[in-house]
Every structure is written in C-alpha cells, then in structure tokens.
C-alpha cells in the first residue's frame, strides 16, 4: 500500500510518521512517498498537508505561472478513480469550493473562512467531538491542534465527521476528507486509520 504526501509545504515528516504508525496498528505495510509534483502519480492515497494556502496555490502553477487548475483537475481525476484524498488545514482550503466568499473549483462543496480562528498567536488545542464512524477505539473525543486554522462556515454537501463549538472540523464527501486542524501533531492515529481503511 503506497500513500503520497504532497510535499511542497507543511508537516511532511509528521504525516509520514503517523501513516506508518497507523499502518502498524492496522497490520498493514505502508510505503510513504513525498511528492514534489503530480504528473507521475502512482499511489493508493494522497495527503495535502497544511502550510500557507496562497503559497501552495502558487506552487501548483507551472513555471510560467499558468493554470493552477491542472492540480485541481488532477485531484478530481484521482478522487474520481476512488483514490482517497485528505487535506489538513491549508490542504482543506485547497479542496474547498468556496474560500472567503470566492469560488474555487475544489472537490469539497463547503464554504471556508481562512484563519477563521485567528492568526498564529490565536492557535490553540481543544477536544473535538467525533462522529461514531471515527470512534475506532470507542472514544468520542479527539485532542486537536488548531494553527491559523480555517473555519468551515457551511457544508453544502458531504458528511460532518467531527465538530467543535458548533462548527464542522472534519468533512467527508465520498473518498475526500478535509480537516481544519493538524492531526499529524498528535499521537492519536484514529483519523489516519480511518483514512487508510478507505483504500
């Protein structure tokens, strides 16, 4: 089983560690590949980590600054083939159809406000409420780390898998998952196990 991490920005090594740990707990061998581009994609799953979403959008354009839609078209192609895709924090923003009131050609039909919980100094940790599908060990809480996190203001389509103070913080539509927080900065593998089980 091979999982790719889009490695232009973000906590790539932390995601890698969590994928390996989750694989061990599931009794599966996971090969993790760091991707700098998406032309020769050959993985069973893809993670888009956090970072700075505007910079990440620019990095998905070609050398002439053209056509960042190629990346979104690539995401639509692989997700349409059933390959699970997970975006965390800025990765969620790249997946959203509406960001700060502007339309983007994303995979998740949600409305997102960037830095909705505040800037870097307003970063925080909190227990979020999990839906039963994520309760792989019977718990209903997950200790989440929010860093310059976006807020999901509206879910037009898809399932809410976790919430915090009335806002969705994990959304899933078929095989595409978006999280507003950083699961890779915890030691709790349940979200990764759920993700790997989608393969």
Domains of the chain are 2-196 (3.40.50.880)
Residue pair 39/85 in contact (Cβ under 8 Å)? The answer is no
pLDDT at residue number 110:
98
pLDDT at residue number 7:
86
Distance of CA 42 to the CA centre of its chain: 19
- Examine the residue annotation and report whether 89 is marked as an active-site residue of this protein: yes
Q: Looking at 15, 43, 104, 184, which residue is catalytic?
A: 184
Q: Where are the alpha helices (DSSP H) in the chain?
A: 12-26, 53-59, 69-80, 90-95, 190-196
pLDDT at residue number 70:
80
pLDDT at residue number 174:
96
Task: Tell me the pLDDT of the chain (199 aa) as tens digits.
Answer: 999 998 876 789 999 999 999 999 999 999 999 998 887 899 999 999 987 655 555 555 544 444 557 888 899 999 999 999 999 999 999 999 999 999 887 999 999 998 777 666 668 999 999 988 876 556 688 999 999 899 999 999 999 999 999 899 999 999 999 999 999 999 999 999 999 999 9
In what helix (H) or strand (E) does residue 152 lie, and over which residues does it extend? strand 151-155
pLDDT at residue number 39:
79
- Examine the residue annotation and report whether 182 is marked as an active-site residue of this protein: yes
Q: Looking at 15, 43, 104, 182, which residue is catalytic?
A: 182
51 burial via Cβ count (<10 Å: 0-12, 13-18, 19+): buried
Q: Looking at 34, 89, 153, 159, which residue is catalytic?
A: 89
- Examine the residue annotation and report whether 184 is marked as an active-site residue of this protein: yes
């Amino acid at each position: 089983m091979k999982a790719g991490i889009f490695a232009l920005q973000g906590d790539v090594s932390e995601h890698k560690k969590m994928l390996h740990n989750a694989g061990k707990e599931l009794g599966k061998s996971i090969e993790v590949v760091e991707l700098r581009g998406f032309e020769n994609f050959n993985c069973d799953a893809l993670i888009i980590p956090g970072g700075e979403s505007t910079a990440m959008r620019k990095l998905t354009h070609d050398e002439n600054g053209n056509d960042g839609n190629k990346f979104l078209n690539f995401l639509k192609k692989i997700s349409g083939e059933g390959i699970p895709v997970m975006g965390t924090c800025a990765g969620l923003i790249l997946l959203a159809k509406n960001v700060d009131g502007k339309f983007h050609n994303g995979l998740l039909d949600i409305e997102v406000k960037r830095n909705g919980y505040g800037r870097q100094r307003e970063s925080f940790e909190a227990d979020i409420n999990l839906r039963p599908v994520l309760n792989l060990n019977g718990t209903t809480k997950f200790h989440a780390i929010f860093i310059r996190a976006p807020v999901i203001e509206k879910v037009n389509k898809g399932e809410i898998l976790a919430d915090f103070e009335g806002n969705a913080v994990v959304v899933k539509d078929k095989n595409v998952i978006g999280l507003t927080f950083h699961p890779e900065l915890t030691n709790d593998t349940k979200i990764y196990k759920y993700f790997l089980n989608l393969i």
